[in-house]
Structure 1
């Protein structure tokens, strides 16, 4: 498979909290969770996603057991790298994870948190996403959507939303994401498909899936076509153009004017 990856910071001059990889057997996209509160960690989200991505790459390449086991080991490994931080803090750095591995006659995938994997097969397109985080703090999320970006009301509402999300992060009935507790990996969505049935694969952070929702610029088949025919950069450029046309986030309510965006594509 030919693979391509593009990752783009939401704003020039700010650290990109996404992370991506594409090689002969692994495709990966990580989406670092936005920090709006204290974290108890001196390192920050970009450090966390870089460490998690590197360790997950190593474990997934070396091991023959499930991607869930690789993610468990990677979360544990990174936690061990900063035990001087307060890893029990509810805001400790975290990331959504999407990974695809070509393993013999199969394609394996895993999704945890707000990364989307799209697989175009001979039986149709499968869209694998984890919407558990978007189903939390729904009242606070709706309140934040009422206010224009940059307003004091918006900032206060986003802070309330974040506190409500963190209260149920990595808990039963809440949502699950890679942070400091390796048990979160057992709640990932994972499966495998016959490799000979797969035509195209994409992994997208939610800054890139904006093209489909909320912007409705494309549907999933059209998005795959853009990636294949025009490349990942073109997809992100289209998202950026819509973001720029709605700077106050009133036509398309969202929590950030422009989010970090990553697209990994293979065909």
Structure 2
């Protein structure tokens, strides 16, 4: 979701287990995204407060029908960029990446805490070709290990049903007059750098500037399609949801 002064990007977490929710991940993301777009549009609010209230609002939409204490309750990585007065404010929670290109260089804001959890289970899953029974079993073990660390001290944090997660977001601001261009990438779009290594962050910005998000995602899909067994580039999904949002200042 984007407007003149605000970007909101959400990436729903893959459900490999039960969730205790009758609605599903897409419903959760739509509700949270709509709430955040409205709450963060109030530039007198803080982004952390907008996220706190957005999580609370969304939880209240299904508190009476779903088990929000379920370990797999729907969740989403969240990114927000907002123009406020003379600053560009940012918030990241979950495995999203923000690129802020300034006159002093590119600032990369990446919440990679999820990648530091369930490492043994992740390495085991990487050993097996995609689609094999061994891979599926290992991915399930990995998911359980991740869920045990989700929104826990020493683990990783995402928007789910617990409003306290908002306090763990990466937040900051950059003087607006120093900003030249910005991008927000979900982990599926950031694969070109973080997993495949075929571009660096300046290269990502250049592709977005010259060809737009469609071309960036086309390149992701081409590499994924060339490695359907996920053996050249070990990964948990053959093709991951990918979103890229880009803006430039003239």
**TM-score by structure 1 length?**
0.92
Residue aligning to 1:7: none
3-state SS in 2 of match to 1:247:
coil
Q: What is the correspondence of 1:82-161 to structure 2 with a 5 Å cutoff?
A: 82-83=62-63, 84-161=65-142
Q: What is the correspondence of 1:171-190 to structure 2 with a 5 Å cutoff?
A: 171-190=152-171
Does the 8 Å contact 2:13/2:25 carry over to 1?
Answer: yes
Q: What is the correspondence of 1:199-210 to structure 2 with a 5 Å cutoff?
A: 199-210=180-191
Between the aligned partners of 1:167 and 1:76, the Cα distance in structure 2 is 22
Between the aligned partners of 1:260 and 1:194, the Cα distance in structure 2 is 32
Does the 8 Å contact 2:8/2:36 carry over to 1?
Answer: no
Q: Which has the higher contact order (CA 8 A, sep 6+)?
A: 1
Shift in Å, 1:63? 4.5
Between the aligned partners of 2:152 and 2:193, the Cα distance in structure 1 is 29
Q: Deviations over 1:155-187 (max 9, x none)?
A: 000000000010111011111100001110000
Q: Deviations over 1:99-130 (max 9, x none)?
A: 10001111000000011111000111011011
* 1:258 aligns with one of 231, 239, 243: 239
Shift in Å, 1:65? 2.5
Residue aligning to 1:50: 30
Between the aligned partners of 1:78 and 1:94, the Cα distance in structure 2 is 11
Residue aligning to 1:11: none
Between the aligned partners of 1:174 and 1:209, the Cα distance in structure 2 is 21
* More helix as a share of residues: 2
Between the aligned partners of 2:211 and 2:2, the Cα distance in structure 1 is 18
Q: Deviations over 1:169-216 (max 9, x none)?
A: 101111110000111000000001110000000000011001112111
3-state SS in 2 of match to 1:39:
coil
Cα RMSD between the aligned structures? Answer: 0.6
| Superposed structure 1 runs of 4+ greater than 6 Å apart | none
Residue aligning to 1:28: 8
Between the aligned partners of 1:195 and 1:203, the Cα distance in structure 2 is 17
Between the aligned partners of 2:197 and 2:203, the Cα distance in structure 1 is 11
Between the aligned partners of 1:36 and 1:97, the Cα distance in structure 2 is 20
Between the aligned partners of 1:202 and 1:94, the Cα distance in structure 2 is 22
* 1:67 aligns with one of 47, 57, 69: 47
Residue aligning to 2:18: 38
Which 5+ residue runs of structure 1 have no aligned equivalent?
1-20
Does the 8 Å contact 2:95/2:110 carry over to 1?
Answer: yes
Between the aligned partners of 1:185 and 1:61, the Cα distance in structure 2 is 17
Shift in Å, 1:23? 1.2
Between the aligned partners of 1:48 and 1:65, the Cα distance in structure 2 is 23
Does the 8 Å contact 2:91/2:170 carry over to 1?
Answer: yes
Between the aligned partners of 2:150 and 2:243, the Cα distance in structure 1 is 23
Residue aligning to 2:173: 192
Which 5+ residue runs of structure 2 have no aligned equivalent?
none
